[in-house]
Amino acid sequence: MPKEGEPPVKIVTIPRGEETEPGEEWRVLAPGTRWTCLKCGECCRRAYRVNITWVEFRRATEDPEIREKFRVDGVIVDPSTGLSHPFFGIEGGCPYLDPKTNLCTIHPKRFYSCAAWPFLLHTDGKIYYSKECPGFGRGPEVDPRRVLKEILHHRERAGMVTERERVEKCWKWIEERFGLKSKYVTPDEL
């Protein structure tokens, strides 16, 4: 809740250039990287803001299951593009996290920021992973083709546009870096 005298919605302005480069926590995915989700729930408790698209915002306000605990802590505005999106903070525990099981209570309906984690499809066409997730170094080898398809699926669901060029770059990067003879597909074919 905003304090007395504060505007009802916090506006965070992103200076030009911020968030165009992955931050310190991100590493480029390499062949042989292993990962599994340990269901530790750390990603839902850390100092992080869950960015929400406006499509997700509308869904959250219309769906009784999400709406019950939904809140917006602020809106992020990029003055260089005029684009904006709301967010909510989860430090100390997301309202949708079940603290007993460490599972998300809205898992099939979770937001894109949550669904993509701990991976990131950057505009450079590479997939990154967060070193803050303790699941890395365990479990089976990560298949970047699967990660890419999952990310694209969730982006589309959140109403996000993914430039064809970025996807094509990523498929090329997967073929070259991982030596995977992936079928070359365009976003329309996924």
Place of tokens 């904006």: 84
Output 43 or 120, the one with its CB closest to ligand SF4. Answer: 43
Among 47, 40, 26, 25, residue whose Cα is nearest residue 138: 40
Output 104 or 120, the one with its CB closest to ligand SF4. Answer: 104
Among 43, 76, 127, 148, binds ligand SF4 (CB under 6 A): 43
* Position 142 contacts ligand SF4 (CB under 6 A): no
- Which of the stretches 24-32, 111-119, 141-149, 175-183 binds ligand SF4 when contact is defined by CB under 6 A? 111-119
Output 112 or 171, the one with its CB closest to ligand SF4. Answer: 112
DSSP state of 21: S
Output 76 or 90, the one with its CB closest to ligand SF4. Answer: 90
Contact 152, 167 (CB under 8 A): yes
- Which of the stretches 26-34, 67-75, 132-140, 173-181 binds ligand SF4 when contact is defined by CB under 6 A? 132-140
Tell me the pairing of strands 74-78 and 10-13.
parallel
| Per-residue CA distances from 158 to 55, 134, 152, 172 (Å) | 6, 26, 10, 25
* Position 147 contacts ligand SF4 (CB under 6 A): no
Report residue 57 as tokens. 């915002």
Question: With CB under 6 A, what is the number of residues at the site for ligand SF4?
Answer: 22
- Please, which contacts does 179-182 make with residues 24 or more away whose CB atoms are closer than 8 Å? 179/31, 180/143, 180/144, 180/145, 182/145
Min CB(47)–ligand SF4 separation in Å: 12
* Chain contacts with ligand SF4 (rule: CB under 6 A): 37-44, 50, 90, 94, 96-97, 104, 106, 110-111, 114, 118, 133-135
